[in-house]
Structure formats: C-alpha cells, structure tokens
Amino acid sequence: MDPSLFIFCKGTLLIYVLIYVDDIIVTSNNTSKIISLLSKLAMEFSIKDLGPLYFFLGIEVIPQTKGVLLCQGRYIKDLLERKGMRDCKPISMPMATSPPSDTGGALMADPTHYRSIVGALQYVTLTHPDVAFSVNRVCQFMHAPTESHWAMVKRILRYLKGTMSYGLFLQRSSTHSLQAFSDADWAGSGSDRRSTGAYAIFLGPNLISWNSRKQKTVACSSTESKYKALADASAELIWLEALFKEIGFPLQGPPIL
C-alpha cells in the first residue's frame, strides 16, 4: 500500500523499514533484531546509526510523557530567515476572513520567489493542519501570482512565526478505531465557481490524515460538493484500512464517516 514502507513479519517478529531516498527509519518489537538488521546493512552499504528517532526530513520528533510531538520549528525558522522575516510580528490567524479576490491586482515582477516559498509552505502542512486551507489557497495562483497573493503568503509566514512550537501530538491510546470528518463549501472560488472539499481522519484520538483541496469539477449544488468531499474521505479510509491490515494492526470495527 505504501511503496516506501518495507515490512518483515515472521511469527511474532515485526520489523518496519521506512525509506525516503537515503534517510531511513527502522522500528521493531524486538530491539536486538534492529541491531542485527543494521549490522547486515552495514556490510553492504555505508550507513550511520543516529540512534533513537529525533529528527527526520525536517520534522522534529519530541518525546513527551504520553506520546510524541511532531514539530517543524527549525524548518519554519529557516523559512522565515530565507524570506527575511525572522523578526516579523506574529499574527493570530493565517488568513483574513475576507481574503482578496482571485483575480485582479498587479502581477509580481518575479514569480519564482513566490513559487519557492509556497512550495516550502506545502511541506509545513505535514505537522500544521491548521494552515492546510490557506496554503491550498495560495497554491492556486502559482501561474500568475499578484502582489495581493504575495501578501497572503506573508500573512501565513507571520502566523507560523507565532506558532513555531506547535505541532502534531500523537498520544498512546488503546482505542484503535478510524473516524473521518468531511465538509465542503459550495462555489467558494470566485474565479471558476469550484468548491473546496476537506477531510480529517483520526485513529483513536490522533489525527493521522487530512486534506483541503479545490474540487476538480464544478458542483451544481451544495449537496453535490459535500458528496464529493465524502467520496474523497472514503477513498482515504479504504487506503488506510488496507495499510493497517498490511502492517498487522487490528482496527476496532468498521470506520465511522
């Protein structure tokens, strides 16, 4: 189900290896088997064991009493320095309640910088679901960004400045049920009348998957736009069910949508 995840299962022994290019996470229910696997890999490849997981692909893994906190404080700090906004004034909302129009305004002289920063913001949504909608909004103007769109990007950066310590908390839980919530607006985009659908999926108390995206087709009613959002959430639930089955993780009953 996930081409980056390799699974070894024999009897009661489980080993999971997650690979992204040359960065690897290895975990198992048997610590000695991890050591054995790493020693065998070292015979074939040049590898370095960094010990317990604290940092992976720009994401900090901070141990807590009841779980772990996934945070991108360092990544956000580097992003602010890149933009020259290290000392900017924080703001409490990532997006204005009445954002600028999708059309109009002076085009940016060099849109390359806009595309670079917005691309970096997409990665921030891995631990900041709270900016998923606003980042999706600014992503829609990559082809011809205006100065008003750039102001929206800077507002997101100012919001992140005040929430660098925020992250995604994953807590230990004996509840192994999947719950999904979905919603959509109707014709929210003034330029093409398309709707934006979104979903959030929880495993027990933990948020594990979410999405906020403009729908591919124009919905003829609010019911249709919400039905499309339900369909997207259902597809993600089916994939997650298959993934958990593959890794040997039992779910408590069918998912609730």
Percent helix, strand and coil across the chain, each to the nearest 5: 35, 25, 40
Q: How many domains does the chain have?
A: 3
Q: What is the largest CA-CA distance in the chain?
A: 64
Interval 55-111: pLDDT, tens: 999 999 999 999 999 999 999 999 999 889 999 999 999 998 876 666 667 899 889
Q: Are 179 and 241 members of one domain?
A: yes
pLDDT digits (tens, 9 = 90+) for 5-18: 999 999 999 999 99
Residues 79 and 148 in one domain: yes
3-class DSSP state for residue 252? Answer: coil
Task: Say if 65 falls within a structural domain.
Answer: no
Tell me the per-residue pLDDT of 154-203, one tens digit each, with 9 for 90 and over: 999 999 999 999 999 999 999 999 999 999 999 988 888 999 999 999 99
| 25 & 86 share domain | no
Domain boundary among 162, 196, 228: 162
Domain assignment present for residue 257? The answer is no
Is 62 part of a structural domain of the chain? no
Name beta bridge partners: 169: 69
Residues 181 and 125 in one domain: no
Give the range of the structural domain holding residue 226, as residue numbers without chain letter: 173-246
